[in-house]
Structure 1
Amino acid sequence: MGSSISRLKSATRTSIAWAAHACSLHQFRLRGKVAILMYHRVLTREEVACQAVQPGMYVLDTVFAQQMAFVRETFTVLSFRQLLDLWQTGKWDKQARYCVVTFDDGWLDNYRHAYPVLKRLGLPATIFLPTDYVSTNQWFWPDRIAHLLRSARSAEQGIKHVQQIERVLLNLFGVAGESLGKALVNDERATDQLIDWCKELPKDQIEMLIAALAVELGVSVPVERVVVNWEEVREMSQGGISFGSHSCSHRIMTTISPSEVSQELEQSECVLQRAGIDYVPVFCYPNGNNDVAIQAQAKAHGYEAAVSVQMGVEGTHPRNRFALRRVGIHNDVTYSIPLFSLRLCGLLSRTK
């Protein structure tokens, strides 16, 4: 029943998308607005097949190329610096449709697959970097968890792994964790639930969980690099890509103390300013989590704006320059141009 409903929803969304695109709804709905696009990863089909990547975290390289060609034809594409300047000077064309392209996390595939497309089309973009990860082999903790659980879905070890995972999660989350453990081996969607639970935990508890899973399952996280290095950053900087801060450690700002927030804001900015790159003073909240106090801290540290993951577009005067709305783009809901344009219009959209 669930899969039938899902297919019906998908078919309905696709039909609406084609109808809206045929009448150029996006051209009217986005006039006088700026759509700040939020991407994470750009992957080939082969890469998706062999990685534990969440559906909301990627677009295919072929889909990205089509989207950027559409963006170039449909919008006045701005760098983030140009957007800030338009807001500052008030020279906003109310008949124009503006677009800014952004990427969170600084994935290596941004350099390998997205940058060549942007360079070929002459489009600017901004990548938000978690500076502690640049030029390292560190993996983000959600990807380490996803990798470990994907490895645990081995048919030969299935029952044994269920028991091992249940034991680890029971110690951390109690009975609810034990129940989730049963689902994790058979249902990839349960991985997303576990990751969401972990977002509320202190970093040391998350690391304890990962270490326990690795020991129980006898699996280790690969050491291959997944984030850009400084040489790649500098090359992209010379090719029209600017860079903003995504903190140092990628910790969720609402789970740490004000002094730690201040340290993340200051140190990441300092690293980027000294890197000899096209730095733009815009902060990107890890996971989007922020509050009024954190926004005030970002402003006090000299940032000119900050982006959130709240769905929406901005206009002549942003509602809150330190919680700018963006349009999250991922493959499962934007794999065709009609679906992409429908997403930009804000219709039938999910939060991320």
Structure 2
Amino acid sequence: MRLYPEQIAKQIKAGLAPCYFVYGDEPLLKQEALDELRQAARAQGFDERHKFDADEGLDWDAIFDASQSLSLFSSRQIIELTLPDKLDRTASDRLKELLGQCHQDLLLLISGPRLNQQQQKTAWYKALAAAGPVVPVFTPDARQLARWLEQRLGRHGLAAEPDALHWLTLAFEGNLLAAAGEIEKLALLELPQPLTLATLQQQVQPHYHFNPFQLIDPLLQGKVKRGCRILLQLRQEGVEAGMLCHLLAKELNTLHGLQAALATGQSFPQAAGSLQIWSSRQPLMQSALSRLPAPKLSALSTLLAAADAAVAEFDDDTAWRWLYALCVGFFDEKPPIILP
């Protein structure tokens, strides 16, 4: 059963499941989900806790010893296990064996990184999903972030005017941990309510953060202003231009492949299926193709080749200039700007 973080409180009222798997790339939401489960478990007598972390190496024998031992001071225990990015065959088999030992006095709290669709088809993931709720935690997009910030402010007795709330979403996009800390500070200041834009700009230091993968979707959607903002922030955060060239090359190659398949008379679903494009990404690709004809895609590939050549020559400034021109070029079918 899939369970989202905001649904945990309702689910545990009906009783704790024997196992929970919390996974994703948002550290604050992951930590709070695990804390909520720990608190519920303590309230139900799970007083003993053993923690095992993949970063320190997984000693499966020690995990099994802990799961089978009983303390003199507690008859109920929690086994916490942090999984690595990948599980080999042995680890997968041992995990499935551990899941088979679940009982009412043993709670397994398992956490892991963000998983792609292929990983969610593995035997070990399916075993986790069968043993108890799986709880994905993802960084909210701009629309979801506004709702999250509004709820977070309300939790601390605060409210914000619409323009102030919009500013907060820009100031903390991709960094919920910093947003939570700033909101706690605001609650201590006893400021007039609702919070105004001027008040927030005076009291709050922006801490937004992006990862390279967040650059792709705005470009496919034609949201060039947002894409360029992300690109400039990625450079400021020290992301390598070569890494972005690799990601963008993959997307452009996919668009070229789709366009070639459509030219042969295939339908879009057929073309997307043959290229193994996830169903969730197909609308983005279709939107981009409707805006970017073949000559424009070829021109964008030329810009990318220029950026890649600058990377090979260790000319970082020129590489970033070409990448910026490439991002702008995703806006419409007009020929892109060629840098001097």
TM tier relative to shorter chain: under 0.3
TM-score (norm 2): 0.22
TM-score (norm 1): 0.21
Higher-Rg structure is 2
More strand by share: 1
Higher RCO (CA < 8 A, seq sep 6+): 1
